[in-house]
Structure 1
Amino acid sequence: MQKQPAAKTAFTPYQVLVIVLLSLTQFTVVLDFMVMSPLGDILMKSMDMNTTQFGFAVSGYAFSAGISGLLTAGFADRYDRKKLLLFFYIGFIVGTLLCGLSHTYLMLLFARIVTGLFGGVIGSISMAIIADLFPLEQRGRVMGFAQMGLSASQVLGIPISLYLSNIWGWQAPFLMIVALASAVWITTLLKMQPVTAHLNEATERNAVKHLWNTVKQRNYRIGFLATAMLSLGGFMMMPWGSAFSVNNLHVSYEQLPFLFMVSGVASLIVMPLIGKLSDRIDKFKIFTIASVWMMIMVIIYTHLTPVPFIVVITMNILFMAGIMSRMVPAIALTSSLPRMQDRGAYMSVSSSLQQIAGGVAAAVGGLIVVQPTKTSPLEHYDTLGFVIVALSAVSIWMVYRVSRMIKAQVAAAAGPQQPEAVLHEA
């Protein structure tokens, strides 16, 4: 009851600028990753790729992003977070430009690996900046806006990308991302202030030791596992969404961009509301309700047969609402676990595990789902749904453990100790 006034605290103009820049950064990075799926058909035909090669092109990003995060985690708390963001973002821009200039499969595969090496770290740096600049009572709203990059990429990015690719070829979406990201990079360089408060905290000088001391913290490992479980469930369905819609639900290629757009609009409406709710109501309760809702929708959706397009739209909206509604409170909770001097390393490891878990999930999903021919319906998609439900149930337990530690932190804030310190004494 006492948290409600804090939740209404208005953002300063500078905080609004930071939220906008980080949200746009997330938008470009997420769109770069997500656009590969809707472009899959035209990519495979243009470059004479088979499905296995296309799978490597998609997973190459995820695994290189995960490895990059682990390699850079030990250095993440040793530098100004703004400088780190600018460095990795310019690398991401270069990698995306290489994608747009690719003319062979090997060049595209190399470009995706380069993009993942840099792009996979940006999300963790952004989350660390948010955790540094915004108190816990504001963080749910900020996470809601920052994570809107996923929905915005569906609402604007994917339909526009498909439209441009139909006119100028599949390279056009990547060049569009380069143009937008370059403008965001320049604005960040000129307008964002250094983020260096964490440098005043004691930390290990040796990067490897700092990484090891971060990973060996028991409460950090619980946060890592919770994040990985969230990613396993989410990434397991994503690669097959379009194929299921087209081949099983008989959605046409002309209807597909509209389906992405409507689902994204619904998410844009839902996520800020969930962000506000998670700043007023217990975050774990919000997460649990959203997870149960998602589990119900997964079972219903994966058992769908051909239905009118309006039904497909409705089911997608309800399904996406559950997915997005659980991510906001979960990320707000897990980002509060690390001490300030460990935050960059923690976020880097967490992001890496998220990417690697996504790659594993896509691979496992490929072993479960079967499509005898390129035009036949997907088989065993319902089995995939049951696996996701089981993983979601485990994630509820893991986030509950994180929530207990955060509550201990908040309770300790009333005493003489710093709230983050109590986590490491528990």
Structure 2
Amino acid sequence: MRKYTALFFLIMFMIGTDTFLISPLLPTLQTEFGVSTGIAGWMLGAYTLGSAIFALIAGPLSDGWNRRTVLLCGLLGFSVSTILCGFADSFWTMCLFRFLAGVSAAFTAPQVWASIPAVMPASSVSKTMGIAFGGLAASQALGVPIGSWLAVAHWSVPFWTIGTASLLLIAVAFYSLPDMKPSTRERTSILGRYVPLIKSGKARSGFLAYLLLHLGSGTAFAFVGKWMADRFELPIGQIGTVMMFLGFGTLLGSIISSYAARKLGLTNTVAAGMSMLLVLYTVIPHFTSLPIVTIVYLIIFATLGIIFPLVMGALTSLNASIRGTISSLANSTMNGANTLGAWIAGLLYVQLGGYTSIGIFSAVCLALSLGMFLYGGLLGSKTVQTREESASAS
């Protein structure tokens, strides 16, 4: 069973590294392709846009397919499109290849979460889920900085490295994972799987709050590399070093997340964390010391590392029978928010006072998100039942 745990960790590590890689590379790629700051963020947004759109259909569709096949095909597409990013010769070809990588990730990442209960003993599911999430956190702590350091040789090297490593993971997955075919042949429409969530007020408010949470954090993260390059005149290698500390913050937060929830309670932990975040996002653009900025961002990312698993757990508990669909919708929501955030960050940075306006916008999003979480009751809610579950219960 350890081979599955390691495989899922590494897949999420590669996807996470590829997702966040553009941020520290943004100043270099902007110069390479000769594009303005206002649209440069779309090199990040193209990836999240592809993932956001196709995640809406990838999860429900894959519930009726062999998850092993879907995972292998998604990982192959992810590998090839990421390698092609290293050959991009213009802004638009980079956006195209990033979009394709996002589409492939939309079919790959949800299969990891859905495959864990299928191949792991019930007693190990929660632990394996945590380790897989740790792969995302580790990608920020190690993958993104390593990518930045590789980019010192040439900006294309990180893409080729991630793509080639992902090809190796395909071989491991092919020989180690068993078939995971659906238990029944019953066909359910894509929209039909979303009906219980659409009808639930808790689900609607919960996903809106989740959208605002990622919109705030994603907008701030999209241009942090650009801001550090402009404010502190950091070369790309040093930006990668700072990003390493941010990733370690996420990793630390994910490790202590369940402990914090046990001590403070789910609602209090999320409320306290988000309240602190909206203050920190507001004040961080005004700091002039790089060490202080690094420490504050370490705290921000550690707090996000605590909050995200708790909120994701609350969302997936809405309905146990459609967890794959919920996970895909959450993934789409996250990437949609990051796509919008990258676009908004570019506008704010250029038109409204640089990173200060981004910090204020992020703080407002966090405040609205917290209000929706508390108003909707997601953090202490009963599950949303499907019609079949309601009928059987009655």
Q: Do these two structures clear the TM 0.5 threshold for a shared fold by scoring above it?
A: yes
What is the alpha-carbon distance in structure 1 between the residues aligned to residue 391 and residue 233 of structure 2? 50
Q: 1:19 to 1:397 in 2, by over 3 A?
A: farther
1:326 corresponding residue in structure 2: 307
2:9 corresponding residue in structure 1: 23
Aligned partners of 2:71 and 2:111 also within 8 Å: yes
Counterpart of 1:384, as a letter, is F
2:332 counterpart (321, 346, 352): 352
1:238 corresponding residue in structure 2: 221
What is the alpha-carbon distance in structure 2 between the residues aligned to residue 216 and residue 91 of structure 1? 31
Helix, strand or coil: the match of 2:42? helix
Q: 1:170 to 1:145 in 2, by over 3 A?
A: same
1:338 counterpart (319, 330, 337): 319
Matches within 5 A, 1:224-303: 224-248=207-231, 250=232, 252-253=234-235, 255-275=238-258, 277-278=260-261, 282-302=265-285
1:312 counterpart (263, 287, 293): 293
- What is the deviation of 1:46? 2.1
- What is the deviation of 1:176? 0.5
Aligned partners of 2:279 and 2:363 also within 8 Å: no
- The unaligned stretches of length 5 or more in structure 1 are 1-13, 410-417
What is the alpha-carbon distance in structure 1 between the residues aligned to residue 391 and residue 155 of structure 2? 49
- What is the deviation of 1:215? 5.0
2:48 corresponding residue in structure 1: 62
Q: 1:141 to 1:297 in 2, by over 3 A?
A: farther
Q: 1:130 to 1:353 in 2, by over 3 A?
A: same
Aligned partners of 1:271 and 1:328 also within 8 Å: yes
What is the alpha-carbon distance in structure 2 between the residues aligned to residue 31 and residue 276 of structure 1? 26
1:179 corresponding residue in structure 2: 164
Aligned partners of 2:209 and 2:370 also within 8 Å: no
2:35 is the counterpart of 1:49: yes
What is the alpha-carbon distance in structure 2 between the residues aligned to residue 394 and residue 52 of structure 1? 31
- The unaligned stretches of length 5 or more in structure 2 are none
- Count the aligned residue pairs: 391
What is the alpha-carbon distance in structure 2 between the residues aligned to residue 123 and residue 352 of structure 1? 11
1:85 corresponding residue in structure 2: 71
Aligned partners of 1:283 and 1:333 also within 8 Å: no
Q: 1:138 to 1:402 in 2, by over 3 A?
A: farther
1:207 corresponding residue in structure 2: 189
Counterpart of 1:353, as a letter, is T
1:412 corresponding residue in structure 2: none
- What is the deviation of 1:425? 6.5
Helix, strand or coil: the match of 1:255? helix
What is the alpha-carbon distance in structure 2 between the residues aligned to residue 68 and residue 149 of structure 1? 22
2:177 corresponding residue in structure 1: 192
Aligned partners of 2:287 and 2:293 also within 8 Å: no
What is the alpha-carbon distance in structure 2 between the residues aligned to residue 237 and residue 118 of structure 1? 25
Cα deviations across residues 130-187 of structure 1 (Å, max 9, x unaligned)?
46567998666444432233432232222222222221x1110001101221122221
- What is the deviation of 1:234? 1.9
What is the alpha-carbon distance in structure 1 between the residues aligned to residue 302 and residue 340 of structure 2? 24
Helix, strand or coil: the match of 1:193? coil
2:98 counterpart (90, 112, 125): 112
- What is the deviation of 1:217? 4.3
Helix, strand or coil: the match of 1:39? helix
What is the alpha-carbon distance in structure 1 between the residues aligned to residue 115 and residue 261 of structure 2? 20
Kindly report the root-mean-square deviation, in angstroms, between the aligned alpha carbons of the 2 structures.
3.3
2:386 is the counterpart of 1:403: no
